[in-house]
Amino acid sequence: MLLQASYEVRCLLRPSSRTERIDGLPVERVQGDVRDADSLRNGMMGCQATIHLAGLSSWGEIDSPALKQVVEDGTRNVLQAALDLPAHRVIFVSSVAAVNGSDQPEVFNESSEFTLDDPELKYALAKRNAELQCRKALAQGVPVIVVNPAEVYGPSDTAFVTAGNLIHFVRSKPVLVCSGGTSVAHVDDVAAGIVAALAKGRPGERYILAGENLTIRQLAALCLQLAGRRPKVVTLPNYLIRALTCVATKLQLPLPYNAGVIPYATRYWFVDGSKAQRDLGVKFRDARATLAPTIAWLKQEGHIA
């Protein structure tokens, strides 16, 4: 989308970076890492703006020390490098997890107070801390803009970051869910929102990039409907799921899910994306239109029958 909008693009890549998504595109490549301040300065020099997307998105890495190193320390390095480059805009790609979550359904927006202090919410807290660094950098003169994508779905999710949720629903009999919820967004809509924030975003502002809010039960039901399945969906009490997960983790017993998911799945992450639609001129498709292409891709690739 950046190329289509006539931007010249430079990509910061680690030696281990998988590049199949950009192979063949006319982009400049520089080697570096957000944890290496010198490589960032060298890479950002000569550019007018930086879109900071680096992070850890795998549930398997949620307890990794690299979470803080990449999300918090990496963001600090990006902002420090930008401070030395006059009028260098930074778009920090945060998350709705840094906006707020709740035990009961409640819709949050860009100005909502962040009230979460559960230490198990490591990803949310890391993103929140990174946003606080953005505020400090803004006060120092860095024109930084924050975007907060919801749970992103789309075809070609080869790492199964969110497509794995859909596979789990389709393969389970019965489908066990908890009381919680999320906002969903199509990957193309989020990309469009990031590019729009680069062109139209106001420094110091946050923009939630999110479509429809769904409970976990609604998400499962829609996924099953799109996949043509009709298994029974059973909602388990959150206290029971949390207790079982806690006991199994302490006793090192196997679980049919990643324990790190539970602090998130048993909360509601409902948000309002109307500000981005109004100020950035972007649109977000509804949940059905968001999930259908991913289900179709999973079927095409043989991940679900």
Tokens of 61: 């890495």
pLDDT digits (tens, 9 = 90+) for 58-73: 777 777 889 999 999 9
pLDDT digits (tens, 9 = 90+) for 160-171: 889 999 998 999
DSSP letters spanning 193-232: HHHHHHHHPPTT-EEEE---EEEHHHHHHHHHHHHT----
b/e for 14-52, b at 16 or more Cβ within 10 A? eeeeeeeeeeeeebeeeebbbebbebbbebbeeeebbbb
pLDDT (average), residues 146-152: 97
H or E stretch covering 146: strand 144-149
- Provide the β-strand partners of residue 148: 208
Distances (CA, A) of 197 to 43, 88, 206: 21, 14, 9
Residue in the structure block whose two tokens are 């950002």: 44
Classify 57 as helix, strand or coil. Answer: coil
Q: For 281, list phi and psi in degrees, rounded to 5.
A: 75, 25
Share of the chain above pLDDT 70, in %: 100
pLDDT of residue 74: 96
pLDDT of residue 304: 93
With cut-offs at 50, 70 and 90, classify the pLDDT of residue 260.
confident
Domain limits, the chain: 10-300
pLDDT of residue 62: 76
For the cut 90, the answer to whether the pLDDT of residue 208 exceeds it is: yes
Confirm if 71 and 130 have CB atoms less than 8 A apart: yes
DSSP letters spanning 170-199: HH-SSEEE-S-EEEEEEHHHHHHHHHHHHH
For the cut 80, the answer to whether the pLDDT of residue 199 exceeds it is: yes
With cut-offs at 50, 70 and 90, classify the pLDDT of residue 40.
very high
pTM (predicted TM-score): 0.94
For the cut 90, the answer to whether the pLDDT of residue 103 exceeds it is: yes
pLDDT (average), residues 3-15: 96
How does the average pLDDT of the chain come out, rounded?
94
Any idea of the CA torsion for 13, 14, 19, 22, to the nearest 10 degrees?
0
Distances (CA, A) of 281 to 90, 125, 207: 20, 29, 11
Residue in the structure block whose two tokens are 């062109």: 199
CATH homologous superfamily of 10-300: NAD(P)-binding Rossmann-like Domain (3.40.50.720)
Closest CA to 183 of 215, 220, 227: 215
